Amino acid sequence: MMYSQKVMDHFTNPRNVGEIETPDGVGEVGNAKCGDIMKIYLKVEENVITDVKFKTYGCGSAIASSSMATEMIKGKTVEEALNLTNKAVAEALDGLPPVKMHCSVLAEQAIKKALQDYARKNNLDIPGLTDIEIDDDHDHHEEIED
């Protein structure tokens, strides 16, 4: 399996690893069966994500996806972060192997879950946040093409 330089860089030197002591929002996704578990911590001030950290248990692609996704939402507004797609994360990493695309999906979902948590804690109604379906039980085998 070939990984881009960016995937390797974010895997070997991940950005924003760790946790935030008193986060404004936390999102955890993943599933123990496949072994990828991702937790994102957000600090939000005046609707801007001022800090973001992650803890990911999983493969190199999962770690690289978390690292890149946190870089992409740092300093952005809540709405901008909400619009981050797994495709954008994968593209920023110069692509992921098809069998590893679910890692970028997890990163997107972890961020959305953290934003939902933030909205809930602050009684905010953020358009587009309520109707997100988080699918934790993803199947790894559907994306492999011969």
**Among all residues, which ones are annotated catalytic?**
34, 103
In order, the DSSP letters of 52-100 are EEEEEES-HHHHHHHHHHHHHHTT-BHHHHHT--HHHHHHHTT---GGG
Is the separation of the CB atoms in 144 and 98 below 8 Å? yes
- Distance of alpha carbon 63 from alpha carbon 106, whole angstroms: 10
